[in-house]
Chains A and B, each alone.
Chain A
């Protein structure tokens, strides 16, 4: 039966889910997407994987573009690299059942992709639709072979999509006819992945969804538990956005970014043999409301164009794992327990192609804005490379400055200095510590207050949006701060 291997089958299912989400995201009414994996009766290892949605349906014209393999090459590269050794096979046929709200019939199609160059679309006899009260689509494929990888992938994908907290979309995964001996035996059980319905897509959703995901799926804290509560209190998030929606605005792509960090607490440090241990940054990339493995080109662009050093990062390596998450390792140890970057790039209208440079710039702007916001909140975690170098000199400098005071033979001078530093007169030995702390703090504050691009956050605060550099420090201060190695 097979003409496609596992990577194509997985790729097709990923595409079916992404397509259903995209259709429903443009639909103004609440929708339900149900991914069902059904063990076919009488066949030892045959499965039907269907993606059904209560969205607007698929019109004839969209059908021409609706091939599961009509996907970007980076996605198929990812699947072929990651799942090359699995033996799940797919016959290359997609069954579609769909109807629009105004239609009087339910249409059925079979699309054969056996000829990869020229897909064959067969329209079957439609069924009558007595009432015009519903719309939707069900797209299904049949696959044969071990299904574990597919199941894990779909489950993981659904978990990741929950990060977006999509407006008016319920996503559920159902398993049907699974045997008791199977690892997936929750027969006819639905797992719901869209816990909250919100009015509109906002960056706050992305932020909240990321925090929920970390607590639920990474830390595996029970919802509402003490650990969950503590984590939500400690976690910090920075948000950034590039692109703007609107009738008169040409931009058709919006990039939303959240950087979520959980700082290693002092107790964790004591428990760890090395107080500063390495920590990978995890990057979740979503395109048009669906998680997508980050392409190599995008990853290179991120590494090259984002000014990581300004935020204290020096990237050692970056690679995708089997679930499509990009793990970025740093050159130096970090004080993060976890750091997650969530990027959502979506089109607001019928999108036209965007130049590679503009795409990269959007991504860079959004990510740097998120990092900048986070840096202002927790400057000590994102000290730039230059600021770090400055801080290295502070102990020597404060020691000398304090030495000039403490070794002075003029006692009135010492008292005067302690007044300037707000130190009690009898604590003249505290000069060095006091000066060091103050200077370290000044460096942190100044580093976090670098000149920035006026973007999403300023727009949110009512400032006029423009992509121009603005000064949040006076010119002389900026000049003073600008390092000239």
Chain B
């Protein structure tokens, strides 16, 4: 939970903004809200962590002009009013709660999501600071005990399923962990495969999945673990453009939430697999290589244009090039063609021990 002084700071910024808008109106101008824009940059920006996004000189101006901008400024003000209430009352609400406070006005959840991003950018704060959260869809299992809102959670107990990642990491404190590394897996099916094979019983680790593109609580929780435990993080994703993009989201954050990238990104992640080369070195049958589809190619081409990827993760960039040049991709499940439990028993351990990660 944001401490009182943080809430007060945010409330003060809200007051400043309201004052500016009133002055605009008193001067005979319609209210305009200028919002910083972020662009990917080549060099790392200063800050507590790492960010590959920087504020650009030009600002986005949302105002009563055009349908989209008008809808955006109205939603901005409505959500800001809700946020002020949450901060003053020291309450929290989910994005869905916010939507249902005025569904007629918002019309769609994405309008609320956009308004929350705009508010965080304008007030220069993290989403958690405005007391709005999104429900977590991530799962965690392994050698980890933590206290969430005063309740002890032992992630080693439910060996066949996993625990939901807490929605608010502000209320989480780590109690104990004997883990040696954190394994990040892209898919829930792979997470369940590892749970069934008792991977965490045989290895001292923490396994996390964001079930596809990770949400804010999952990324925030991972960042919390890394900060507190100083463990290496290995990512296990498909060798295709979308798998790599998911891994990039963990590592660099997303442009949509660039204002919060420093707090959510985990720059120490290493790509454990799968790679196209695993067909040669880990006995995966060649028939498991699948052709890239058109949208895969478009995605790869778009990602290759990201200069920060080329500069800060050149090996990943190289893998992406290889995907495109060979026109093939490989999914994690292909490892299971070697044997049913090859992933848990051989592949991951072998890769970590032999330092076969990027």
Contacts and interface: CB of A to CB of B under 8 A. Distances in A.
Interface stretch (B41-49, B59-67, B204-212, B325-333): B59-67
A404 B80 CA distance: 8
Contacts of B69: 484
Interface in A168-220: none
Nearest to B66: A484
Given A442-B30, A483-B66, A417 B74 contact: no
Contacts of A394: 64
B77 interface: yes
B14 interface: yes
Interface of B is mostly: helix
Size bracket of the A interface: 20 to 34
B28 interface: yes
A481 B84 contact: no
The 8 closest A-B pairs by CB, nearest first: A400-B77, A484-B66, A420-B22, A403-B81, A390-B64, A400-B81, A404-B18, A400-B78
B85 interface: yes
B153 interface: no
Interface of B: 11, 14-15, 18-19, 21-23, 25-26, 28-32, 61, 63-71, 73-74, 77-78, 80-81, 84-85, 88, 105
A401 interface: yes
B19 A417 contact: yes
B265 to A, nearest CB: 32
Contacts of B78: 396, 400
A484 B62 CA distance: 12
Contacts of B67: 389, 485
25 contacts: A389-B67, A390-B30, A393-B70, A396-B77, A397-B73, A397-B74, A400-B77, A401-B21, A403-B81, A404-B14, A405-B18, A407-B88, A408-B15, A417-B18, A420-B23, A421-B25, A422-B26, A442-B30, A443-B30, A445-B28, A480-B61, A483-B65, A484-B65, A485-B66, A485-B67
Contacts of B19: 416-417, 420
A299 interface: no
A413 interface: yes
Contacts of A438: 25-26
- Among B32, B63, B74, B84, the most chain A Cβ lie within 10 Å of the Cβ of B74
Contact of A480 (B11, B32, B105): B32
Interface string A423-451: 00000000000010011001101100000
A251 to B, nearest CB: 38
A389 B81 contact: no
Contacts of B77: 396-397, 400-401, 404
Interface in A367-401: 389-390, 393-394, 396-397, 400-401
Nearest to B21: A401
A442 B80 contact: no
Interface in A335-375: none
A482 B65 contact: yes
A407 B84 contact: yes
Contacts of A405: 18
A484 B64 CA distance: 11
Given A389-B70, A393-B74, A484-B65, A407 B85 contact: yes
Given A393-B64, A397-B31, A442-B28, A404 B70 contact: no
Contacts of A481: 65
Nearest to A445: B28
Given A390-B65, A404-B81, A417-B19, 8 more contacts: A390-B30, A417-B22, A421-B25, A421-B26, A438-B25, A442-B25, A481-B65, A482-B65
Contacts of B68: 485
A227 to B, nearest CB: 38
A43 interface: no
Nearest to A477: B29
Interface string A93-107: 000000000000000
A274 interface: no
B74 A480 contact: no
A476 to B, nearest CB: 10
Contacts of A421: 22, 25-26
Contacts of B15: 408, 410, 413
A440 B85 CA distance: 27
- Among A390, A393, A420, the most chain B Cβ lie within 10 Å of the Cβ of A420
A117 B67 CA distance: 60
Contacts of B105: 396
A410 B70 CA distance: 29
Contact of A390 (B21, B61, B70, B81): B70
B29 A442 contact: yes
A430 to B, nearest CB: 13
B357 to A, nearest CB: 48
B89 to A, nearest CB: 10
Contacts of B21: 401
Interface string A457-483: 000000000000000000000001111
Nearest to A409: B88
A246 B149 CA distance: 88
- Among B32, B81, B85, the most chain A Cβ lie within 10 Å of the Cβ of B81
B81 to A, nearest CB: 5
Contact of B84 (A408, A422, A483): A408
A445 B29 CA distance: 10
Nearest to A396: B74
B25 A439 contact: yes
A296 to B, nearest CB: 35
Contacts of A439: 25, 30-31
Contacts of A409: 88
A441 B13 CA distance: 28
A397 to B, nearest CB: 5
A485 B68 CA distance: 7
A394 B70 CA distance: 10
A396 B70 CA distance: 11
B188 to A, nearest CB: 40
A195 to B, nearest CB: 45
A401 B66 contact: no
Contacts of B70: 389-390, 393
B74 A407 contact: no
A420 B21 CA distance: 10
A304 B330 CA distance: 59
A482 B64 CA distance: 10
Contacts of B18: 401, 404-405, 417
B242 to A, nearest CB: 33
Contact of A446 (B23, B30, B85): B30
